[in-house]
Amino acid sequence: MAAQSIFATRDLSRFNNYDEAYHQLIADLMEQQVCSTNLIIQGTPVGRIFVDGGFGSNAVFMHMLADAFAGVEVYAASMPQASALGAALVLHPHWNSKNVPSDLIELKLYSATQKTST
């Protein structure tokens, strides 16, 4: 895995338009993402990947991620204050006897069979 994306060394004049360059940038980022994710999940029974933050709203990135991990369910998670909610969920059993609500997170499933439009 490279320390930085190979896109930094690409000759931008070789692209015909912005869209082509943008898709290459995302593909280059995806190459690093796949390497990083595989370091974590390789040899484990992971069946789902959840993406939150800005990249979860990026359809091009999400579709490429779903293609790269075709055997895994890839979800974009949409929720405000994701880090704070995660911390609260870790502590929840230690201070609250009520069940965690099931509708805290909005999820969108991306599949390797879906077509990308952008």
Q: What confidence tens digit (pLDDT) does each residue in 87-117 have? A: 888 888 898 899 988 888 888 999 887 655 5
Q: Are strands 73-78 and 48-51 parallel, antiparallel or unpaired?
A: parallel
Residue 114: the pLDDT is 61
Encode pLDDT of 19-54 as tens digits. Answer: 999 999 999 999 999 999 999 999 999 999 988 888
Tell me, yes or no, if the pTM score tops 0.85. no
Residue 118: the pLDDT is 47
Report whether pLDDT(1) > 50: yes
Distance from C-alpha of 63 to C-alpha of 27, rounded to nearest angstrom:
11
Tell me what the pLDDT averaged over the chain comes to.
87
